[in-house]
């Protein structure tokens, strides 16, 4: 049976390896053995780390290495139960707690400059990034696709089923915005997203801008209709634009000079 890694484009396979750090399966894409800026990337529910090679190729071409991971219950650590909508919050919180262990492993790899790192994710992956960024960290940039930092907009959805008021307040990032470090953020969302409401992320991004000393480094890009399934998965006809604009945003704020690649 063909592995997920074998489905990657030849150009990406040439610079990539699969490696498990702790319990977390990782796809590491590196330009060379020199420590370089990188992005820590997390996919969405029911996906896997090999799903989006076009994204990784764009980062590599721009001088940015990639560490993409499988969320709990996904990819190489498949568990059908953890892919159910009502388990999403558990997956998000568990992944947020696993990030530091992966970073510790990358520190000894030699190709990842932890002082020049970005973090990002799509949907559940983006929400795991948000949870991690509410604690002290070294990330310099964040990329959030179809994610939300305000769970109030999802209070009646399966992700929040079973939470009492205190539990909900504890996990809702909006209640901990004061803990957010002032870093550049780019967030991308469809205004008609059927799974993760646009309004919640708009509220969260406005809160980040309000507390930021550099609100010009916080960007919120939205689309009316993209043609994507549920106006959520992959941004449809806007997919290439989304990847390109985020790569340039990360490159800008990690201060990557094309002349020195």
Alpha-carbon span 230 to 57, nearest angstrom: 26
Alpha-carbon span 57 to 236, nearest angstrom: 19
Give me the helices (H) in 19-109, please. 53-61, 88-107
Alpha-carbon span 255 to 252, nearest angstrom: 5
pLDDT tens per residue across span 19-38: 999 999 999 999 999 999 99
**How does DSSP classify residue 203?**
H
**How does DSSP classify residue 71?**
P
Q: With pLDDT > 90 as the criterion, what percentage of the chain qualifies?
A: 93
The residues with which 18 forms a beta bridge, in sequence order, are 27
Average pLDDT over residues 237-245: 97
DSSP string computed for 96-117: HHHHHHHHHHHHTTSSEEEEEE
Q: Quick one: pLDDT at residue 161?
A: 86
Alpha-carbon span 76 to 17, nearest angstrom: 14
Token couple for 181: 């470090």
Provide the phi-psi class of 162: left if phi over 0, else alpha when psi is between -120 and 50, else beta: left
Alpha-carbon span 251 to 32, nearest angstrom: 17
pLDDT tens per residue across span 106-164: 999 989 999 999 999 999 999 999 999 999 999 999 999 999 999 999 999 999 988 99
The pTM of this model reads: 0.96
Q: Quick one: pLDDT at residue 259?
A: 42
Model confidence at 256, in pLDDT bands (50, 70, 90)?
confident
Whether the per-residue pLDDT at 184 is higher than 70: the answer is yes
What number of other Cβ atoms are within 10 A of residue 137's Cβ?
Answer: 16
Q: With pLDDT > 70 as the criterion, what percentage of the chain qualifies?
A: 97
pLDDT tens per residue across span 68-100: 999 999 999 999 999 999 999 999 999 999 999
Question: What mean pLDDT is reported for the chain?
Answer: 95
Cβ 126 vs Cβ 147: under 8 Å: yes
Cβ 71 vs Cβ 26: under 8 Å: no
Q: Quick one: pLDDT at residue 163?
A: 94
The CATH classification number of 5-260 equals: 3.40.50.1820
In the chain, where the domains are located: 5-260
């Amino acid at each position: 049976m063909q592995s997920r890694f074998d489905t990657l484009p030849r150009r990406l396979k040439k610079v990539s390896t699969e490696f498990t750090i702790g319990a977390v399966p990782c796809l590491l894409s590196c330009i060379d053995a020199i420590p370089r800026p990188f992005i820590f990337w997390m996919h969405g529910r029911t996906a896997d780390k090999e799903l989006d090679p076009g994204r990784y190729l764009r980062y590599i071409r721009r001088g940015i290495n990639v560490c993409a991971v499988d969320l709990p219950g996904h990819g190489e650590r498949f568990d059908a139960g953890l892919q159910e909508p009502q388990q999403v919050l558990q997956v998000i919180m568990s992944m947020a707690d696993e990030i530091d262990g992966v970073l510790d492993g990358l520190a000894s790899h030699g190709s990842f400059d932890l002082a020049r790192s970005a973090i990002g994710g799509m949907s559940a992956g983006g929400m795991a990034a948000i949870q991690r960024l509410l604690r002290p960290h070294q990330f310099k940039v964040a990329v959030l696709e179809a994610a939300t930092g305000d769970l109030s907009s999802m209070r009646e959805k399966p992700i929040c089923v079973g939470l009492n008021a205190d539990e909900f307040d504890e996990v809702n990032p909006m209640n901990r915005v004061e803990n957010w470090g002032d870093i550049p953020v780019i967030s991308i969302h469809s205004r008609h997203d059927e799974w993760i409401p646009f309004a919640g992320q708009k509220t969260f991004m406005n809160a980040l801008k309000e507390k930021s000393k550099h609100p010009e480094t916080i960007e919120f890009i939205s689309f009316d209709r993209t043609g994507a399934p549920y106006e959520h998965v992959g941004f449809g006809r806007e997919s290439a634009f989304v990847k390109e604009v985020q790569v340039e945003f990360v490159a800008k704020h990690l201060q990557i000079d094309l002349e020195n690649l």
